[in-house]
Amino acid sequence: MTSSEELHKRRGAAVARGVGSTISSYVDHAGGGTITDVEGRQWIDFAAGIAVANVGNSARRVVEAVKAQVERFTHTCFMVAPYESYVAVCEQLNAITPGDFEKRSALFNSGAEAVENAVKIARHATGRPAVVVFDHAYHGRTNLTMALTAKNMPYKHRFGPFAGEIYRVPMSYPLRDGGLSGAEAAARAIEMVEKQVGAENVAALLIEPIQGEGGFVVPAAGFLPALREWATAAGVVFVADEIQTGFCRTGQWFACEHEEVVPDLITLAKGIAGGLPLAAVTGRAELMDAVHVGGLGGTYGGNPIACAAALASIETMRELELTCAAQRIETVMAARLRTIAERDPRIAEVRGRGAMLAVELVQPGTLVPDPAATAAISAACHAAGLLTLTCGTYGNVLRFLPPLVISDDELARGLDILDAAFG
Ligand code: PLZ
């Protein structure tokens, strides 16, 4: 088999430099809680392909469903010749997302595409132009979603000009906003919208219930419910971006459920289809159905193989009770992270929910971010056989997103490596 080193050389000559990778080893196979490279080296997987492989790589049901679908047909385009699995995925999404009202769904390929479509739907349904987003937000890399994303490097730098009518307001970030309550942080954001944009001009308020790329920021209790209440009163569509938080990741099917917040629209992707590319917008029937026939779509959106995988993934989440699995991971991992934090003053905070946990690193005794220490600890993990990711506006958050099917033993071994990497 070709070595990682040779592959890396070929890559340099063939793949655009702008596409990065966390590790320079090349994957041979992956499953459960591990990834194995072409040299037979194994990593404990605390990344899950950025919160995608919730049911694990090559989950049994997913493999079977995909194989069966590939044999029947691979693509007809739902907009040309429709098929049952697209309808069945929409039925499932309408049933499992929060809100007991009538819902509709539409399927797309990527998270960014789902977010773009949620904005299109909200604008069309309300006849208003503005979209409110938050500091530290991440919503994608396409032109509209770059405008919605907060961080310049690496996502936006020299890629403008960006789409208009996007307004950014402060997030609730308990570690860094001087201890504002959720209600106070919401009032601050709402006042800014009312004074600078005007509620009657706002189509949508778009928010990740727990921010992903922005640093696993969990807003203070009450923040999301206060925004939800304001949006209802102002006729603003509340859009929850659950692309990273969805599908059992946080110990509930969707992160909004932790505070019983019911969005009008939800954007979904990542964990939805066990690694196959699929995304969705799910929400209130009257908003979704406001759009004229033919107004939503795309060649591959709701591809039949991805739909088969999604149905199998959702079934697997139910069968293996992956919400409970995420809660169990939290119990074990959070305890261990707190133990490390007790002895290491660089850890300012341990935070997150379920199997979406992180530590934020600072210079001891301050809130000054320490991205260098974060990168060094992450690199030490990689060298010792644990795949970790970093995130955060300041690059100083080490985040952990294991597949929800990781075994107790793999989880413990991963945490041992992490513990040692902190020194
Ligand atoms: N919304 C909340 O987390 C994707 C991005 C990785 P796509 N996050 C991983 C990278 O560097 O590109 C994400 C997200 C939230 C939207 C998206 C976008 O989803 O499927 O990557 O388009």
Q: Is 349 in the pocket of ligand 1 (CB under 6 A)?
A: no
Cβ neighbours of 386 (radius 10 Å):
23
In terms of domains, do 311 and 345 share one? no
Phi and psi angles of residue 366, each rounded to the nearest 5 degrees, phi first: -130, 180
Binned at pLDDT 50, 70 and 90, residue 207 comes out as very high
Strands 237-241 and 386-387: unpaired
Q: Is 141 in the pocket of ligand 1 (CB under 6 A)?
A: yes
The reply to whether 96 and 178 lie within a common domain is yes
Integer Cα distance of 44 and 372 in angstroms: 23
Relative to the CA of 244, which ligand 1 atom is closest? 3
Q: What does the DSSP 8-state code read for residue 172?
A: P
CATH number at residue 117: 3.40.640.10
Based on the domain organization, do 194 and 302 belong to the same domain? Answer: yes
Same-domain check for residues 405 and 271: no
Angle at 160 between CA 207 and CA 294, to 5 degrees: 60
On whether both 137 and 264 belong to a single domain, the answer is yes
Q: What is the CATH number of the domain that holds 11?
A: 3.90.1150.10
Q: Which residues pair with 108 in a beta bridge?
A: 279
Total domains in the chain come to 2
Q: Could you tell which of 213, 356, 391 is best to mutate to test the pocket of ligand 1, judged by most ligand atoms within 8 Å of the CB?
A: 213
**293 and 199, same domain (yes or no):** yes
The reply to whether 206 and 176 lie within a common domain is yes
Domain that holds residue 303: 62-320
Whether pLDDT at 1 is above 80: no
Which of 264, 286, 320 is where one domain is finished? 320
In a shared domain, residues 415 and 338: yes
Domain co-membership, 364 together with 411: yes
Q: How is residue 109 written in tokens? A: 């390929």
Does ligand 1 lie within 6 Å of residue 271's CB atom? no
**Residue 245 CA to ligand 1 centre (angstroms):** 11
Q: What is the pLDDT of residues 210-226, one digit of tens each?
A: 999 999 999 999 999 99
**Distance in angstroms (rounded) separating the CA atoms of residues 153 and 151:** 6
Q: Where is the domain boundary, 320, 346, 380?
A: 320
Both 241 and 313 in one domain: the answer is yes
pLDDT tens digits for 233-271? 999 999 999 999 999 999 999 999 999 999 999 999 999
Residues 307 and 390 in one domain: no
Query: What separation in Å is there between the alpha carbon of 269 and the centre of ligand 1?
Result: 9
Q: Which of 277, 296, 320 is at the close of a domain?
A: 320
The tens digit of pLDDT for each residue in 59-113 reads: 999 999 999 999 999 999 999 999 999 999 999 999 999 999 999 999 999 999 9
Are 86 and 178 found together in one domain? yes
| Portion of the chain with pLDDT greater than 90, in percent | 100
